[in-house]
Structure 1
């Protein structure tokens, strides 16, 4: 299962033309209010347009458009007056709120009329027309709200800390590139990230309203803090007949982690997103508790939802997980063959000094620039990766052993031959695993072909009774026949 990424992680897969982002430079100091005033003179609405953006700073609303050209000042004697930003002329504030004298001064101010004839700021954008680069010159204005929106997506996509935008060098870079840039606090960035999430969540919910049927996949996993989460992913076909995938949520699963509690959490998620009556099928791995989850969920949904073929297609078992169990069972029969290889990689990866010595020997032998990788006990193809990577450096290990007296897991030449045979056999399974684990394209239409390929490989390998991996093959065939 793939991990979610908000907004950008949840990018619409349908083809769409990418629109350029135009930064608008905001005039500094006095020119700020001038630009706003000109905008308001064209649109008499008293509400500033920036207030419509959830990322823009909120401004106090004024009842008269003339206020954009004036600011309140306090005189030394404590008197409060208003000052026009162009000519610095000060006017008295009427207690009744009348602003007619402000408007008269605004229309007759000579300095403002001269300023209106000043030079506008322009930008140059590069576009490609019929394979030729064309420079387009146009006016623009700095939009701080748009920057905040983009920054929030940047934080989410690249998993940056909220404090990133308070870093001194980042702010120096932004002020150098854009003199009108305003520093953003980590609290503001956090709020903008939540705003971006809510906006994209609404978009996804709106798109799901138009769907008649969707398919759901779930996967339960534990974080480093031993907290259990379940990820819920929705799949459907978009209006342009493209496969769409949306990671709906990561849900905390409170103990006990049995089928009943997981079903309750999953059912609440479906109801929250409004798709409880649209679920066509649900794909899960082969954990025993998932049988209970699917059975209870099927009973709950069948009250209001007419499942296809009375729910016979509702429960879909993850083919990639079955293949993982299949190979894991087989590898358990030949653990002793690659024990020394795995322990060798662990020994080298345990210390930076070991890694540096190993890398130096690899450079001397002019071997591949690849690195050794550690495997994951729950994924068979990770074991394949560690064996195939170590096989490329088999000439390095003897030389490393001469430099490290604590290294006692040097594989023999016979071990390397057996590892080579195992990797050659598992290479086809590795390709099939990558193929059927795809999430950006349909996989069901070639599933049967790959299933036949696996059966053919097992039959051919089991025919060689003298092979040292025949026990592994036989155990894989038993698991294959079971499913």
Structure 2
């Protein structure tokens, strides 16, 4: 009976050995790592079934795989792209592939990655000093910030934490960038105006400062080839003597010459009281430089708002 029992257990043992050796005979093929993070990380076996990713720059370790569970590479990308690598912040290994906006929120160890919604991946953008200067000038123009904002301590601290590579800007530098932006936009508008087939209507408004200086704001209104109405501020002309009869004539002549509008003017509208002497001083100038339609009959003295205001004052004064 003993021999029979031994003979019955032998096939079972051979089956167990076959079951144990079968997985080793068919190893699992791993995909080739294609992510760019592997240029900055290495994988090392910590223990049986546990592997961790080590940063080549700061030697900090991150979870990668435990058994069959793989952590992925999102937290590794954040370590490099967002500047949490302390070695990267110290300027080690800087090259043309330097990433933008390095930032170190905490000097302690790494925190477990938070759950985030998956978003489409975007390529890393290299730092561009000229592009940043252009955007700062554009920001100042759009929001009418003072030019000295680039020298404020709070702004400097913010920019240095956002991008340590950015060189501080002075008042003169940002002033030159704003002027260059203005000239660029002006040239773009002039190229657009050259293709307008119709004529232009100008509206003028006079502002006075506390120094008794006058500023003539000239706005152009025109329709493009698609019958779309456009409104653009053409000029702001300083007039040292805003009450003189030739103040508006000088501003209009400068606008027509600056934007090459000779022969393209259709009408003028003033939001400033214009005397008869000033009107007669303006009409010959326009007749020489621009053939007005209907012999200048469309040279409007005041806009409708000014006319209604004058009528209301007359009615109140008569009552």
TM, length-normalised to structure 2: 0.59
Instruction: Please name the residue that 2:153 is paired with.
Output: 168
* Higher relative contact order, chain-length normalized (CA < 8 Å, sep 6+): 1
Cα RMSD of the aligned pairs, angstroms, is: 3.2
Q: Matched residues in 2 for 1:25 and 1:144: separation?
A: 18
Instruction: Please name the residue that 2:26 is paired with.
Output: none
SS at match of 1:147: helix
| Contact 2:205–2:272 (CA under 8 A) maintained in structure 1 | no
User: CA shift at 1:192, angstroms?
Assistant: 0.8
Q: Matched residues in 1 for 2:124 and 2:272: separation?
A: 59
Q: Matched residues in 1 for 2:162 and 2:242: separation?
A: 54
Residue 288 of structure 2 is aligned to residue 268 of structure 1: no
After superposition, residues 28-177 of structure 1 pair within 5 angstroms as 29=91, 34-35=95-96, 121=99, 135-177=120-162
Instruction: Please name the residue that 2:224 is paired with.
Output: 238
Residue 269 of structure 2 is aligned to residue 283 of structure 1: yes
| Contact 1:222–1:228 (CA under 8 A) maintained in structure 2 | yes
Would the alpha carbon gap of residues 30 and 297 (structure 1) be closer, same or farther in structure 2, given more than 3 Å must change? farther
1:147-186 per-position Cα deviation (integer Å, ceiling 9, x unaligned):
1111112222222222211222212212222333322112
1:239-283 per-position Cα deviation (integer Å, ceiling 9, x unaligned):
443221111222121337232343133212211221122110000
SS at match of 1:306: coil
Q: Matched residues in 2 for 1:206 and 1:259: separation?
A: 33
User: CA shift at 1:317, angstroms?
Assistant: 3.0
1:130-151 per-position Cα deviation (integer Å, ceiling 9, x unaligned):
xxx9534212111121111111
Would the alpha carbon gap of residues 210 and 172 (structure 1) be closer, same or farther in structure 2, given more than 3 Å must change? same
Instruction: Please name the residue that 1:217 is paired with.
Output: 203
Instruction: Please name the residue that 1:308 is paired with.
Output: 293
After superposition, residues 350-369 of structure 1 pair within 5 angstroms as none
Q: Matched residues in 2 for 1:188 and 1:30: separation?
A: 30
Which structure 1 segments of 5+ residues have no match?
1-23, 36-118, 124-132, 334-470, 472-483
| Contact 2:248–2:282 (CA under 8 A) maintained in structure 1 | no
SS at match of 1:315: coil
Aligned length, in residue pairs: 218
Q: Matched residues in 2 for 1:195 and 1:164: separation?
A: 18
Q: Matched residues in 1 for 2:277 and 2:128: separation?
A: 53
The one of 230, 250, 258 aligned to 2:236: 250
Q: Which has the higher helix share?
A: 1
| Contact 1:25–1:141 (CA under 8 A) maintained in structure 2 | no
Q: Matched residues in 1 for 2:235 and 2:289: separation?
A: 23
Would the alpha carbon gap of residues 301 and 225 (structure 1) be closer, same or farther in structure 2, given more than 3 Å must change? closer
| Contact 1:25–1:180 (CA under 8 A) maintained in structure 2 | no
TM, length-normalised to structure 1: 0.40
Q: Matched residues in 1 for 2:288 and 2:147: separation?
A: 45
SS at match of 1:205: helix
Q: Matched residues in 1 for 2:289 and 2:236: separation?
A: 26
| Contact 2:221–2:230 (CA under 8 A) maintained in structure 1 | yes
Residue 308 of structure 2 is aligned to residue 319 of structure 1: no
Instruction: Please name the residue that 1:189 is paired with.
Output: 174
Which structure 2 segments of 5+ residues have no match?
1-80, 102-117
Would the alpha carbon gap of residues 239 and 134 (structure 1) be closer, same or farther in structure 2, given more than 3 Å must change? farther
Instruction: Please name the residue that 2:165 is paired with.
Output: 180
Q: Matched residues in 2 for 1:169 and 1:287: separation?
A: 46
Instruction: Please name the residue that 1:259 is paired with.
Output: 245
Would the alpha carbon gap of residues 282 and 31 (structure 1) be closer, same or farther in structure 2, given more than 3 Å must change? farther
Would the alpha carbon gap of residues 320 and 136 (structure 1) be closer, same or farther in structure 2, given more than 3 Å must change? farther
Q: Matched residues in 1 for 2:227 and 2:152: separation?
A: 44
